[in-house]
Amino acid sequence: AATFKRASGAHLADRAAEDADGRRIVYRRRPLGVVAAIVAWNFPLSMMATKIAAALVAGNTVVAKPAPTTPLTTLRAAALLQHAFPAGVLNALGDDGTVGPRLTAHPDVRKITFTGSTATGRHVLGAAADTLKRVTLELGGNDAAIVLDDAEPRAVATGLFNGAFANSGQLCVAIKRAYVPDALYDEVCDQLAALCEGAIVGDGLEQGTQFGPLQNKAQYERVRELRDDAARHGTVMGDAGVVPDQGYFIRPQIVRDVTDGVRLVDEEQFGPVLPVIRYDDPEDALARANASSYGLGGSVWSSNPARARRYAERMDSGSVWINRHPDLAHHIPFAGAKQSGLGVEMGDEGLEEFTQLQVISARD
C-alpha cells in the first residue's frame, strides 16, 4: 500500500527547456505501452508492487509475471486490485518458466523490467534485441563491505551480520563478502560467530523466529556446495544450534581465513554464509572489492565518515553506503553497475524509465 501511495504522488509534467528568440522547446514524457514486469522469487510481492506502481503511474499497461516458485502472492494481489483498474490494465500470469521468454520476445511488449540473476538477465536482453525493447535489468550482486581499521568491532559486527543475513541472505544487495583489517580481524570474526550462534532459525509462523529457510532446493544445494568448498580453504564459524528437521534450512555462519579465488568469495552465494577476508592495506581491499564483475552495492565502515567517503567514492558499484548496508527507499534511485544491471529503479529516475522522451520544438 505504501508503494502505491508513494507512486501516486509522482508527476511527469511537461517541462519547458527553452523559450526565447522565437523558439519554444518542451520535454514530454509519454507512456511506452505494454510493460512486462518479471520478478525473482526472493521478494515477490514487494518487488512486483514497485514495478507495477511506477509503470501504471507513467500511463502504461502491465503484464506481471512472478517466478514459477513464488506465484501466489502476486496472483492474489492482482486479484485484489481488479476493482481498481479497467479490464486489461493490470494482468498477472503464473507459469512453469515458459511464459517469460514469450513475453520478452513479443512484438507488442514495449518495455521489460526484470529482476533476477545475471545469467537470466542476459537472456532477457538478447530476447529484447530484435525489437529494441526498452529494458531495465536489476540483476545479481557480490556486494563487498570494507571495514577500515578505525571501526568499532562490536558495532561493525552487528552491522555486517544484519546486512549479510537479512532474509537468510536471499537479498540482491546483501553483504556477500567482508574485507576486515588485520588489527580487527579476530575480534570481528568472533563477534560475528557469536551472533550467528545466537540466531533463531525456524518456521516463520513461530514466535521468535528470526531466519527462515532458503526458498528452493536448487538454491539450498548451491549454498551448501559453496560453503563446503570454502570450508576446505578456511574455517567455518557460527554453525551451531538447531534447525527444523525438514525444510531447506541453513544457519547463518561465516567462513574466515579465506581469500579471493575461493568460490564463496568470487561468486554470489545468495544465502546465509559470509566469507570474511583479511587485508593489511585498505587500497588493496578496495582494489579486490572492485575486481568483481558485479557492481550492485557496497559499503565502507569507519568511525571517520570523511575517511570512509574517500573510499566509498571509489567503489565501482551503483549504490554505496557508509556504516550501513543496505539502505533503500522508494524515493532513492537504485541502479547497478557492470553486470549487475541496466537502467534505474525507484526515484524520479526510475519512473522516467517507463516513458519515452518526446521533444517538441516550435517556432513562432
The CATH number of whichever domain residue 63 belongs to comes to: 3.40.605.10
pLDDT at 364: 78
The verdict on 277 and 262 lying in the same domain is yes
The verdict on 259 and 165 lying in the same domain is yes
CATH number at residue 187: 3.40.309.10
The verdict on 197 and 224 lying in the same domain is yes
The verdict on 233 and 95 lying in the same domain is no
The verdict on 157 and 261 lying in the same domain is yes
Q: Give per-residue pLDDT as tens, 64-94.
A: 999 999 999 999 999 999 889 999 999 999 9
The verdict on 235 and 115 lying in the same domain is no
pTM, 2 dp: 0.95
Answer yes or no: is 165 within a domain. Answer: yes
Count: domains in the chain: 2
Q: What angle do CA 329, 9, 14 make, to 5 degrees?
A: 110
Answer yes or no: is 245 within a domain. Answer: yes
The verdict on 155 and 129 lying in the same domain is no
The verdict on 218 and 284 lying in the same domain is yes
Answer yes or no: is 333 within a domain. Answer: no
**DSSP sequence for 230-251:** HHTTSEEE---S---SSSS---
Answer yes or no: is 327 within a domain. Answer: no
Helix axes 182-197, 153-165, angle to 10 degrees: 50
Mean pLDDT of the chain: 96
The verdict on 75 and 106 lying in the same domain is yes
Residue that has been written with the C-alpha cell 479497467 in this structure:
86
Answer yes or no: is 331 within a domain. Answer: no
The verdict on 135 and 238 lying in the same domain is no
Q: Which residues span the domain enclosing 290? A: 144-322
The verdict on 99 and 148 lying in the same domain is no
Residues marked as catalytic: 138, 172
Q: Which pLDDT tens digits describe the chain residue by residue (364 residues)?
A: 899 998 988 889 999 988 888 899 999 999 999 999 999 999 999 999 999 999 999 999 999 999 999 999 999 999 999 889 999 999 999 999 999 999 999 999 999 999 999 999 999 999 999 999 999 999 999 999 999 999 999 999 999 999 999 999 999 999 999 999 999 999 999 999 999 999 999 999 999 999 999 999 999 999 999 999 999 999 999 998 889 989 999 999 999 999 999 999 999 999 999 999 999 999 999 999 999 999 999 999 999 999 999 999 999 999 999 999 999 999 999 999 999 999 999 999 999 999 999 999 998 7
The verdict on 215 and 288 lying in the same domain is yes
Q: How far is 21 from 174, CA to CA, in rounded Å?
A: 53
Answer yes or no: is 206 within a domain. Answer: yes
pLDDT at 284: 98
Comparing C-alpha atoms, which of 268, 267, 239, 271 is closest to residue 255? 239
Q: How far is CA 170 from CA 20, 184, 219, 242, in A?
A: 54, 27, 10, 20
Answer yes or no: is 210 within a domain. Answer: yes
Answer yes or no: is 332 within a domain. Answer: no
